[in-house]
Amino acid sequence: MPQYILRLSLEHPTFRLPSLKSIADLYGFPLRFISEDKLRSVLIIELEKDEDAEKFLERGVLVMQVSEAAYSPDPKLMCRSVCRLIAEGSSYEEMHQQVQTDLSVFEPYMDKKFKFEFESINHRSTSRRQRYLNNPG
């Protein structure tokens, strides 16, 4: 099953899980929490399909965007973004190798314009660092 990254507000940490579970119950789709620490600002979940992630958007107060939408730092919103997790690793090089093994995940986006934006949490990333992360070679 696909995994998704939820970027959450630091407000209402004890309300997050019950609220996400209730939306999954309301729409009748399974939701599995992958993250071990469920009180952090980033939570990894597992859903059956992309459409299930979009259901969180239909509950306006809870989720603000899916990866293509513009970011707005409204602190009243609990979940600020939902993005599909396509690779992970213990180093950037490992993650980039993992991405190269299955490029089919990018097929729906091959004829679309996009850009990567980096946002750091609890530190600042320089432009040089961001360019390196985009192309570590």
Question: In this structure, what DSSP letter does residue 63 have?
Answer: B
**Domain map (residue ranges) of the chain:** 1-85, 89-137
CATH number of 1-85: 3.30.70
Read off the pLDDT of residues 60-115 as tens digits, 9 standing for 90 and up.
454 444 433 333 444 445 556 677 788 888 887 888 888 888 888 888 888 988 77
Question: What is residue 29's predicted lDDT score, i.e. its pLDDT?
Answer: 94
Query: What count of other Cβ atoms lies within 10 Å of the Cβ of residue 28?
Result: 8
Predicted local confidence at residue 30, as pLDDT: 94
* d(C-alpha 46, C-alpha 5), whole Å: 9
pTM of the complete model = 0.64
Please give the Cα distance from 114 to 96 (Å, whole number). Answer: 18
Q: What is the pLDDT of residues 11-59, one digit of tens each?
A: 777 777 888 888 899 999 999 998 877 777 778 889 998 888 877 766 6
Please provide the average confidence, as pLDDT, over all residues in the chain: 75
